[in-house]
Amino acid sequence: MRVVFDRPFDGQVWERATLVAGWVEGIEDAGHIQAVAGEVEIPLGACVHPRAVGRSDLHGFWTEVILQRHVRAVRGGMLPIDVYRDRRHVARTELHVSPVALELARSHPLDLDDYSVPPASGARVCDALVFPGLGAVGGSSLNALFRRQALRAGHAATVYGEANTPSLWSAIRARPRSPDYGWIDGHGCYAAADARALRVTLLREPIQRLVSVFNYGALVHPEQFRGSFDDLVASGAARAHSQAVGLLRLAVPERDVPRSDGELIAAARAELARSYALVGLTERFEETIFLMCRLAGRRSIGMWWRVLAAPRAVEVDRLDPRTRALLERDLAPDLALYEEARAAFDARVAAASLGADLQRYRDAAGRRRELSAEAKAVECLRWRHVLAATP
């Protein structure tokens, strides 16, 4: 039997919560595998490792190491994780824990409580939610939250981005015992929605979103975001980064996008109505989470926290008036689409009767301390390193 950890790819921890994954090879059943860091057991979930397709002796596993649970076990900057099978020690790996991650775990501990979600009578419940990656709407935070929920519930999650590759996804779903997915995410997972899964998305105030796209992209994808924000807008690139265009290209990556405002709005509006069971709002994140839980029949959810939030190098309130005017022109379809979505969302929330449970969740979210700009920059630059090292 062999146990291999390949995530994080370099064995380094730079965040308060880190996805850890790998595979077990040479056994028929991985159901008796346990992992422990220090004296704290880490729950292991099943996932499909790309190496496992077509094999019965290789099993993917994943978990999330929440550092505040294991601070005492860190020695010399290393966190050991021991793996047991039937209480027999079979493997050990060590994660290098950065001083930044340790300091954040101590000074900004994560809220690990579970919060009740009131059920809805007679509502449609699906097996899984599919969240195609529309950028800069809070997707990284949403992915982290619902993967964590899937881990607690014993569901699989798309840890290796398997739903982004149609041939791999088809092979996985055709297996006699296809995994019980609870959350499916990825920039190419649009087609993963089927009779068992419902597609969901979020929209964000368009100008605020484009500023966020730039702040994040300047750190993580500097080769794509050269120059200033004003330069980006003056070049006419705002429309190419719009939510309306993004929605259409998630569905058909190579499609020709309508040029006129009216045609683009109509096409994006039709796509949302036809393909998405829920259109949430970034500015109403807690309500969106609760409505997603109801779609999936979840009676409780953990607390969300910001993931990959970039420092505010550019701020909406300080935009040059000429730049804002250009944005309002080039993002006119997004602005119209967002107002429609906001009205529909308000009506949906009003009819949902989420009550005291939602207020309790929102109050808890509002009590968190914001991370410093430096800590946000470290997280984004770490992700830049991960992307650069990924084949």
Domain end call among 109, 144, 160? 109
- At residue 291, does pLDDT exceed 70? yes
> For residues 144 and 157, is the Cβ–Cβ distance under 8 A?
no
Looking at the domain assignment, is residue 296 inside a domain?
yes
Sequence letter at residue 129 = L
> What distance in Å separates the CA atoms of residue 177 and residue 197, rounded to the nearest whole number?
17
Segment among 16-20, 66-70, 125-129 with least mean pLDDT: 125-129
**Pair of tokens at residue 105:** 């775990």
Chain mean pLDDT for the chain? 94
pLDDT tens digits for 54-103?
888 999 999 999 999 999 999 999 999 999 998 899 999 999 999 999 99
Q: Collapse the DSSP code of 15 into the 3-class scheme (helix H, G, I; strand E, B; otherwise coil) and give the result.
A: coil
Q: Please give the C-alpha separations between residue 52 and each of 9, 24, 78, 150, 224, in angstroms, as whole numbers.
A: 18, 10, 29, 21, 35
Give the pLDDT mean for 172-191: 90
pLDDT tens digits for 185-201?
999 999 999 888 999 99
53 pLDDT band, cuts 50/70/90, is: confident
Judgement on whether residues 77 and 136 belong to the same structural domain of the protein: no
Judgement on whether residues 153 and 227 belong to the same structural domain of the protein: yes
Give the pLDDT mean for 16-29: 92
Give the pLDDT mean for 264-282: 97
Judgement on whether residues 22 and 135 belong to the same structural domain of the protein: no
Judgement on whether residues 345 and 213 belong to the same structural domain of the protein: yes
**Pair of tokens at residue 156:** 């699989």
Judgement on whether residues 141 and 228 belong to the same structural domain of the protein: yes
Give the pLDDT mean for 120-149: 91
Judgement on whether residues 364 and 248 belong to the same structural domain of the protein: yes
Looking at the domain assignment, is residue 122 inside a domain?
no
Looking at the domain assignment, is residue 175 inside a domain?
yes
Domain that holds residue 261: 131-389
Q: What CATH number has the domain bearing residue 93?
A: 2.60.40.10
Looking at the domain assignment, is residue 100 inside a domain?
yes
Q: In what order do the strands lie in the sheet with 58-66?
A: 2-7, 17-25, 58-66, 45-47
Omega cis (within 30) before 8 = yes
Please report how many Cα atoms fall inside a 13 Å half-sphere around the Cα of residue 65, on the Cβ side: 31
Looking at the domain assignment, is residue 224 inside a domain?
yes
The total of structural domains in the chain comes to 2
> For residues 97 and 78, is the Cβ–Cβ distance under 8 A?
yes
300 pLDDT band, cuts 50/70/90, is: very high
Judgement on whether residues 325 and 185 belong to the same structural domain of the protein: yes
> For residues 199 and 130, is the Cβ–Cβ distance under 8 A?
yes
Judgement on whether residues 48 and 154 belong to the same structural domain of the protein: no
Looking at the domain assignment, is residue 125 inside a domain?
no
- At residue 248, does pLDDT exceed 80? yes
Judgement on whether residues 103 and 198 belong to the same structural domain of the protein: no
Torsion of CA 83, 84, 88, 90, to 10 degrees: -40
Looking at the domain assignment, is residue 142 inside a domain?
yes
Closest CA to 368 of 50, 107, 155: 107
Judgement on whether residues 139 and 96 belong to the same structural domain of the protein: no
Judgement on whether residues 176 and 267 belong to the same structural domain of the protein: yes
Sequence letter at residue 61 = F
**Pair of tokens at residue 139:** 């997707």
Looking at the domain assignment, is residue 187 inside a domain?
yes
123 pLDDT band, cuts 50/70/90, is: low
> What distance in Å separates the CA atoms of residue 205 and residue 257, rounded to the nearest whole number?
21
Closest CA to 219 of 15, 384, 386, 388: 384
Domain end call among 75, 109, 143? 109
29 pLDDT band, cuts 50/70/90, is: confident
> What distance in Å separates the CA atoms of residue 366 and residue 389, rounded to the nearest whole number?
36
Rounded to two decimals, what is the model's pTM?
A: 0.96
Q: What CATH number has the domain bearing residue 167?
A: 3.40.50.300
Judgement on whether residues 305 and 238 belong to the same structural domain of the protein: yes
- At residue 124, does pLDDT exceed 70? no
- At residue 331, does pLDDT exceed 90? yes
